[in-house]
Amino acid sequence: MPESIPNAFIAPLTAHFGVETATQVLKALEDEPSVSIRLNPRKSACAFTSKRMVPWTDHGYLLDARPNYALDPCFHGGGYYVQDSSSMILERVLKACAPPRQGTYLDACAAPGGKSTILLDYLNGEGFLVANEVDGKRNAVLRENLLKWGHLNHGITSISTERFKESYARFDVILVDAPCSGEGMFRKDAFARKQWSEDLVRSCTRTQRSILEDLTPVLKEGGLLLYATCTMNQKENEEQILALLDTGNFELANPDLSNLKDFVLPAVHADAIIGHYLLPGISTGEGLFIAALKKKEGAESVMSSSIAQRLQPADPAFERAFPTLTPLALDFWEWKDEYYGIQNAAYAPELFYKRLGLPCYQIKGNDVIPLHGLAMMESEIEHLAVDHENALRYLRKESIYLPHEMPKGWYLISYEGIKLGWLKAIGTRTNNYYPNGLRLRI
Ligand code: SAM
């Protein structure tokens, strides 16, 4: 039996949004959760039966039912990300605020990585994203998702927010998609209903405040702070924004979303829009709050300096093996004999990275071994198309049947234009190089 909606949640919701809106939200919370995906703009689109688009992005689709993503090779190749349509509003907010793409961006609470994929798409190969997730297990999921998304201009860290001040990292854009009481997830996640309490709201409010206090000093003057939660109460949302404004260091930078007024509600204080809500039953997806603030010029900041990374050019053997990549002018970072390709290293601050860029190659004797990041990134490397059955066999790390006998060497396997990974043909045999950790187990 589903957990009921907590009573202590209903009164503040009604006081906050009014009876009519609160009634719509409460009714929607008893419905089925929404299902949506966002296509990877850099990879070819896979076929979906739904063509209902999310109104605030060119890449989001609302689906009628939840497909079995695990059996879709395009999902494993990073062709799309399963994401709540409300979260996709970040794309619209970024485009409207238009922070410069050449710069260093931080996604401070990044796992599982949905909003990082939006930030990377916005950067479109310019600038650099630090995607940080303090929780170890969730950080592993973040690394997997950003590997599949295939952008080279990012690094992944796992540090608590207070440690950013100790580093030399300073950011042009910071997204705080804060841990929250999860009211917006009541429809999707029975646990969110079960664990909710007024105490949880209070404790989340304190955590959010301390994350913001840790990070606002490392935002550059004139930089953009984006704050989001998946909850609907004022304490975790408007009150956090008002507290930031009270410091005197910020001004509002919220975009005009009035053309989305049927889906997005402004949060208004003293005649100013201090953020926006997307609510179940009113918007297309689950609950979300988002606000944009600009750090004033002359606001208190900590000093910044840049430190060169330990980076090197590509090994000549790798360049000979993959000549079409040479124009990308990548830097490489060595970690445990593997070389990670990184774009725009100039923007990468000195931090303890879990991963920097994407794994591209290894050198073993005279052999250049291509790694999975090289398959996932956008490139002109030729690929070998396989059918659905063979794509699933490949993802399960089984032997696959090649369309005909192939000369010895490395092949990039693809399905419907989405690259899946590497395979080595050795005479009549093939060796499957799909990463063990990603192996499909169904
Ligand atoms: N941005 C993510 C996305 O779009 O996929 C969702 C982020 S989720 C709402 C919040 C994240 O904050 C969680 O992954 C959680 O582990 C992390 N978190 C929890 N406590 C934190 C803290 N004190 N400091 C920083 N991050 C924290």
pLDDT tens-digit map of 241-251: 999 999 999 99
- Choose between 196 and 399: higher pLDDT: 196
Q: Which of 40, 65, 63 is nearest to 53 (CA)?
A: 63
Please give the share of the chain, as a percent, with pLDDT higher than 90: 80
Which residues line the pocket of ligand 1, CB cutoff 6 A?
87, 109-115, 133-135, 138, 161, 177, 179, 207, 211, 230
Q: Please tell me which residue in 46, 204, 230, 360 is annotated as part of the active site.
A: 230
Please give the share of the chain, as a percent, with pLDDT higher than 70: 96
Mean pLDDT value of segment 331-335: 89
* Block residue for tokens 């913001």: 212
Angle at Cα 79 formed by Cα 188 and Cα 106, nearest 5°?
A: 70
Name the strand (E) or helix (H) holding 37: strand 35-39
Nearest CA to ligand 1 atom 11: 109
Quote the tokens at residue 167.
């580093």
- Other C-beta atoms lying within 10 Å of the C-beta of residue 69: 12
- Choose between 368 and 304: higher pLDDT: 368
User: Mean pLDDT lowest for which of 177-181, 283-287, 407-411?
Assistant: 407-411
Cα 172 to ligand 1 centroid, rounded to whole Å: 20
Alpha carbon distance 161, 333 (integer Å): 25
Buried b (16+ CB within 10 A) or exposed e, 269-296: eeeebbbbbbbbbbbbbbbbbbbbbbbe
Q: What are the structural domain ranges in the chain?
A: 7-295, 382-442
Assigned architecture for domain 7-295: 3-Layer(aba) Sandwich (3.40)
Nearest CA to ligand 1 atom 23: 207
Q: Which residues pair with 130 in a beta bridge?
A: 106, 155
The model scores a pTM over 0.85: yes
Cα 192 to ligand 1 centroid, rounded to whole Å: 15
Q: Which of 273, 300, 290 is nearest to 216 (CA)?
A: 300
- Give the pLDDT band of residue 402 (cuts 50, 70, 90): confident
Known active-site residue 46: no
Mean pLDDT value of segment 148-174: 94
Ligand 1 atom closest to Cα of residue 180: 9
Angle at Cα 21 formed by Cα 19 and Cα 22, nearest 5°?
A: 60
Beta strands 331-335; 264-269: pairing state: unpaired
Judge whether 339 and 315 are in contact, CB under 8 Å. Answer: yes
Mean pLDDT value of segment 141-152: 98
Asked if residue 51 has pLDDT above 80, the reply is no
- Give the pLDDT band of residue 302 (cuts 50, 70, 90): low
Which of 134, 142, 176 maximizes ligand 1 atoms within 8 Å of its Cβ, making it the mutation to test the pocket? 134
Judge whether 355 and 155 are in contact, CB under 8 Å. Answer: yes
CATH of domain 382-442: 3.10.450.720
Q: Which residues pair with 273 in a beta bridge?
A: 268
| Residue 171 to residues 122, 177, 275, 355, Cα–Cα distance (Å) | 16, 16, 22, 19
pLDDT of residue 230: 98
Asked if residue 282 has pLDDT above 70, the reply is yes
pLDDT of residue 243: 97
Cα 176 to ligand 1 centroid, rounded to whole Å: 8
Identity of residue 349: P
Task: Encode pLDDT of 86-105 as tens digits.
Answer: 999 999 999 999 999 999 99
Which of 37, 38, 82, 109 maximizes ligand 1 atoms within 8 Å of its Cβ, making it the mutation to test the pocket? 109
Cα 177 to ligand 1 centroid, rounded to whole Å: 7
Number of residues that this document lists for the chain? 442
Alpha carbon distance 231, 321 (integer Å): 50
Judge whether 182 and 115 are in contact, CB under 8 Å. Answer: no
Asked if residue 307 has pLDDT above 60, the reply is no
Mean of per-residue pLDDT scores for the chain: 92
Nearest CA to ligand 1 atom 26: 109
pLDDT of residue 403: 66
Alpha carbon distance 173, 118 (integer Å): 13
Quote the tokens at residue 299.
């606001």
pLDDT of residue 131: 98
Mean pLDDT value of segment 306-319: 77
SS3 state of residue 70: helix
Ligand 1 atom closest to Cα of residue 113: 5
pLDDT of residue 6: 87
Judge whether 88 and 56 are in contact, CB under 8 Å. Answer: yes
Ligand 1 atom closest to Cα of residue 87: 4
Alpha carbon distance 222, 298 (integer Å): 9
pLDDT of residue 300: 63
Secondary structure of the chain: what % helix, strand, coil (to 5)? 30, 25, 40
Mean pLDDT value of segment 7-29: 95
Asked if residue 368 has pLDDT above 70, the reply is yes
Nearest CA to ligand 1 atom 9: 179
Ligand 1 atom closest to Cα of residue 175: 1
Cα 78 to ligand 1 centroid, rounded to whole Å: 22
Cα 310 to ligand 1 centroid, rounded to whole Å: 29
Mean pLDDT value of segment 73-84: 96
Max alpha carbon distance in the chain (Å)? Answer: 74
Mean pLDDT value of segment 123-147: 97
Task: Encode pLDDT of 421-433 as tens digits.
Answer: 999 998 778 899 9
Asked if residue 46 has pLDDT above 80, the reply is no
Mean pLDDT value of segment 409-437: 93
Nearest CA to ligand 1 atom 17: 109
- Choose between 300 and 429: higher pLDDT: 429
DSSP string across 355-400: EESEEEEEEETTEEEE-HHHHHS------EE--HHHHHHHHTT---
